[in-house]
Amino acid sequence: MEYRKLGHSDLEISAITFGAWAAGGWMWGSTDRNEAIEAIKASYDVGVTSIDTAPIYGQGTSEEIVGEAIKDISRDKVQILTKFGMRWDLDKGTLAMKSKNNDGKDIDIYKYAGKESIIFECEQSLKRLGTDYIDLYQIHWPDVTTPIDETFEAVSKLIEQGKVRFAGVCNYDAQQMAEAEKTLKSVSNQIPFSMVNRGIEDETVPYCIENNKSILAYSPLERGLLTGKINSDYKFQDGDHRAGHPHFQPDFINKTNELLNKIKPIADEHNASLGQLVLRWTIERPGITIALAGARN
């Protein structure tokens, strides 16, 4: 496994990082905790030492699973990336979505990154993860209701306290990154990027290259679409968000599979799966430091 430094930091994480959204079950139909734990352990055994999670993934479930999976691993041998700013337990900020938790109960999810909320979220994450520090703490989505300096002053305080090593952002455009930089220097931006979703190459990638910010590409396999295992009559489990996603409608699936058929000979030549080829392509793109790959089993 290749390991790469994030931005200006000395934090090295695995070029393929375990994405633990699906492990939390929420929006993916379901999850088996034991299978998810074993998936993380198996990934670690082959060199995937970095794990990305968030409180909103299963409303704490994903972080708990990550904590259980790494409890017998020396803390300095694993890198924990988690997030803040998506609250399902209070109604401050901007309503992001209406959803259901893993028990089928209706929940309202808000984008909110006020100072006291961030401090609270960090403490809860530390407990669920079973650790006393977080390697990379990322704002999950921009919060237009909170001054950006308030948000990052709170993260700066957590860094001073030793509870967080480095700060990152998610889903920020270049202008938002520049504004945040006035308060605290982040090391990374986690943002969607794949063979069929390359919009960040216009502005965000150039900004990150110029300002030494790492890009953590999430959904590089486009939620499984780029593995070649999805066809136009694929049936999703109840509660799986992909069923209504534009990229999982028959026309887009068929066009994507045409692309995959063209590149499959390259994968075959290297004795690799389509998924492996796509991930390698992703981390070789200019400005892309890390690709997140998720699994539930």
- Treating both helix axes as pointing N-terminal to C-terminal, what angle do 33-45 and 61-70 enclose, rounded to 10 degrees? 50
CB 125 within 8 A of CB 134: yes
Using a 10 angstrom Cβ sphere, with 0-12 exposed, 13-18 middle and 19 or more buried, the burial of residue 226 is buried
Q: For residues 207 and 29, what is the distance between their CA atoms, to the nearest angstrom?
A: 36
Q: For residues 112 and 91, what is the distance between their CA atoms, to the nearest angstrom?
A: 9
Catalytic residue among 3, 44, 57, 172: 57
Is 137 a known active-site residue?
no
Residues 6 or more apart whose CB falls under 8 angstroms from that of 65 comprise 20, 23, 24, 31, 33, 36, 37, 40, 58
Distances (CA, A) of 288 to 65, 171, 208: 27, 14, 9
Residues known to be catalytic? 57
